[in-house]
């Protein structure tokens, strides 16, 4: 059904269903679905491969980073961050100069969650994003890989922050990073 159904939404549903099976035996079909003409199928395949966390899917996922679809590049960055490994990290580092700020941020956050500080400056820049959710994610990621100097950046962001949820996350990030630095 994933490859043969004429209906794109049925193919996308099939790719999504493979996510719940959690079996790596579905990987070849999902990799093939990455080149489906229907964007919904490609997105579903990326998400499914992300859940499988198969290093064998990294080259196929990385090939999508040339797409003109920033949303797809952002989704692939998240998947590569979940999968990890040297190839995935190399691909994510290449996204730190992406033309889309959301793609750059997703790549930096994915690197941080893999304990790679390559995107640290992107994360610190994201602390001034118009989106409270992005500011929260940036603070959490910065707390994972930050340096002593980054505590002051988080404190400055906290001083300017108006959103109560983001303020709470920033306080927690400052505490976490300060604790990590002192240990």
- Rounded mean pLDDT, 156-167: 96
Within a domain: 175: yes
The answer as to whether 57 is a domain residue is: no
Q: What is the pLDDT of residue 21?
A: 62
Give the rounded percent of residues in the chain with a pLDDT score beyond 90.
73
CA angle 111, 62, 123 (to 5 degrees): 25
Structural domain count of the chain: 1
Which range marks the domain in which residue 146 is found? 127-183
Is residue 125 predicted with pLDDT exceeding 50? yes
Task: Flag whether 15 is in a domain.
Answer: no
Per-residue pLDDT of 54-99, as tens digits, reads 899 999 999 999 999 999 999 999 999 999 999 999 999 999 999 9
pLDDT score, position 1: 46
- Whether residue 58 is contained in a domain is answered as no
């Amino acid at each position: 059904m994933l490859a043969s159904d004429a209906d794109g939404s049925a193919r996308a549903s099939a790719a999504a269903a493979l996510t719940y099976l959690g079996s790596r035996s579905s990987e070849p079909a999902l990799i093939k679905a990455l080149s489906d003409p229907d964007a919904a199928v490609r997105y579903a395949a990326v998400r499914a491969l992300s859940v499988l966390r198969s290093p064998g899917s990294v080259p196929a996922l990385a090939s999508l980073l040339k797409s003109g679809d920033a949303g797809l590049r952002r989704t692939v960055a998240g998947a590569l961050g979940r999968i990890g490994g040297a190839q995935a990290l190399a691909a994510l580092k290449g996204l730190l100069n992406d033309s889309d700020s959301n793609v750059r941020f997703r790549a930096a956050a994915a690197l941080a969650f893999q304990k790679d500080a390559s995107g640290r400056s992107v994360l610190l820049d994201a602390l001034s994003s118009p989106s409270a959710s992005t500011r929260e994610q940036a603070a959490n990621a910065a707390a994972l890989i930050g340096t002593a100097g980054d505590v002051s950046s988080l404190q400055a962001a906290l001083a300017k922050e108006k959103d109560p949820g983001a303020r709470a996350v920033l306080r927690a990030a400052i505490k976490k990073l300060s604790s990590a630095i002192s240990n």
